[in-house]
Amino acid sequence: MATTALRRSGTGQRRLGTFLDQNFKYWALLPTLLFMAVLTLYPVGQLLRLSLSDAQFIKGKLVWSYVGLDHFTTLSHDPVVPDALRNTLVFVAASVIIEGVLGLLLAVLVSRVRRFAWFYRSVFMIPLLIPPIAISAMWRLMYDYNYGIINQILIELGATRPPLWTADPDLALASVVIVDVWHWTSFLFLIMLAGVESLPHELGEAARVDGASEIQVYRRIFLPLLRPTIIVALMLRTILAFKVFDQIFLLTGGGPGTSSEVISLYVYKVFFVQGRMGYGALLALITALIMSVFVVAYQWLNSYVNKTR
């Protein structure tokens, strides 16, 4: 009896040891996952609670009062939200597409340079190293109607009425997109360059020997291999573009009117200018939900591309 019990105990310990060895990677990640879950779920839970409440500072204390779905009623009658969402989607689409195309083209061109390649890489990284507040101040001076260098060049070229840029409702959002492209193309360039330099270039050489042109090599061989890198780069840039704040805040302030108002800037105004923290929390949750939809779409696209490679 005792021998049988010892054998069973030994067998159970071996099975447990085998189970732990086979799943060690998951157990090793468990503390980090729990830590990240606490840091993520608690703030989101507090934001959800705040979106169903009305919070005010009274005599130095934060006083909560449950209002249920009242903020959804406010949302349905808020005329700024549709404009802010539309401007955000237009800004994200324009900036991500333009920056993605420019980043890929620059990465391909720089990867083909043999002399002074370090110089070109350093130059293209400069905009990414400058603080956003400095970039906004610099471009605000360049956009100035009377003294800005852009209008001065246009006047020299014969323009009699140069654009107002940030003060024109039809140009304000486009002006911010231009600044964003100048600032963030470097980010996509670095990711694309890493992907281009990791390509198996012997495939391209073999295709050239068989008579393929450079355009055919990149379109039929290198571009399909770069799709996962491109998707990840665009996903990261989309997330950052959705959260744009500083450039619009400093260049246009969301104006004129609501022509350049984006959802992150409007959340700031609702939270800190108007003092409606509950309603601001609801807008923040809606923004996070929209961003999550884009992330899930990118993840699905990435998995689909990997399956079809």
Residue 39: count of CB within 10 angstroms of its CB: 10
Q: What mean pLDDT comes out for the span 131-145? A: 91
Among candidate residues 198, 199, 218, 196, the one with its CA nearest the CA of residue 208: 218
According to DSSP, the residues that pair with 58 across neighbouring strands are 61
Report pLDDT digits (tens) over 155-172.
Answer: 988 888 889 899 899 999
> What tokens were used for 8?
């069973």
pLDDT value at position 5?
47
Which fold, 72-134+161-308? MetI-like fold (1.10.3720)
- How does DSSP assign 133-154, residue by residue? HHHHHHHHHHT-TTT-HHHHHH
Report pLDDT digits (tens) over 112-122.
Answer: 887 777 788 88
Higher pLDDT, 254 or 309: 254
Percent of the chain with pLDDT over 70: 91
pLDDT value at position 15?
63
Higher pLDDT, 8 or 140: 140
Element housing 47 (H / E): helix 24-51
Predicted model pTM: 0.86
Report pLDDT digits (tens) over 270-306.
Answer: 988 888 888 999 999 999 999 999 989 998 888 877 7
Report pLDDT digits (tens) over 17-40.
Answer: 565 566 666 777 788 888 888 888
Band (248; pLDDT cuts 50, 70, 90): very high
Cis check for the bond before 169: say yes or no (omega within 30 of 0).
Answer: no
> Of 26-40, 116-130, 140-154, 202-216, where does the model show the most confidence?
140-154
**Measured between alpha carbons, how far is residue 243 from residues 10, 41, 111, 228 in Å?**
57, 20, 31, 23
Question: With contact defined as beta carbons under 8 Å apart, do 85 and 258 qualify?
Answer: no
Question: With contact defined as beta carbons under 8 Å apart, do 61 and 55 qualify?
Answer: no
Output Rg (C-alpha) for the chain, integer angstroms.
Answer: 27
